[in-house]
């Protein structure tokens, strides 16, 4: 069974709704297990086959917790090379957060990223939640095709 981390931050619940739908999509394939969490120990990142990060955009940026997480992973020399990565999140008008995360995954950690990031303007509607489930499913199918 492949392991997928759905790590997210959300102040008003919009990115959380996306994270839940993505985790549902991962589970629906039957070949991957989704762990949904607000926090992860840096060392644990290496345990997952795919890492999906949900971040809203506040002040044109990602939350400081995610900055610290990726900086710490780099300092500790944790290899995420080849793992599947994706980023998603709710935004209001500019939506930089998920794009910043995806850049770090791609250029610093050499992860195999799903592009572009999935962005929902404010509260995700039913179409967006369907797109979230599809993203989760796509990630688990990518993992299945690797074995």
Ligand X SMILES: Cc1cc2nc3c(=O)[nH]c(=O)nc-3n(C[C@H](O)[C@H](O)[C@H](O)COP(=O)(O)O)c2cc1C
Which residues of the chain form contacts with ligand X (CB under 6 A)? 10-15, 56-60, 90-95, 122
DSSP 147: -
Identity of the residue, 15 or 140, whose beta carbon is nearer to ligand X in the bound complex:
15
Identity of the residue, 90 or 140, whose beta carbon is nearer to ligand X in the bound complex:
90
The answer to whether 23 and 137 are in contact (CB under 8 A) is no
State in angstroms the smallest separation of the CB of 144 from ligand X. Answer: 29
- Tokens representing 95 are 């939506």
Task: Tell me the backbone φ, ψ of residue 2, rounded to 5 degrees.
Answer: -80, 150
Identity of the residue, 121 or 146, whose beta carbon is nearer to ligand X in the bound complex:
121
State in angstroms the smallest separation of the CB of 99 from ligand X. Answer: 11
State in angstroms the smallest separation of the CB of 82 from ligand X. Answer: 29
Residue 104's nearest CA partner among 80, 121, 133, 122 is 80
């Amino acid at each position: 069974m492949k392991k997928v981390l759905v790590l997210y931050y959300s102040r008003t619940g919009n990115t959380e709704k996306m994270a839940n739908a993505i985790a549902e999509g991962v589970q629906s394939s039957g070949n991957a297990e989704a762990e949904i969490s607000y926090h992860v120990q840096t060392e644990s990142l290496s345990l997952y086959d795919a890492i999906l990060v949900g971040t809203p955009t506040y002040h044109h940026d990602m939350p400081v917790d995610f900055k610290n997480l990726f900086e710490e992973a780099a300092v500790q020399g944790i290899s995420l090379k080849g793992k599947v990565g994706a980023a998603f999140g709710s935004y209001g008008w500019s939506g930089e957060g998920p794009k910043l995360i995806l850049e770090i995954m791609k250029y610093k950690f050499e992860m195999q990223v799903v592009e572009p990031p999935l962005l929902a303007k404010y509260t995700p509607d039913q179409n967006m939640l369907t797109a979230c489930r599809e993203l989760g499913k796509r990630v688990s199918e990518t993992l299945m095709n690797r074995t």
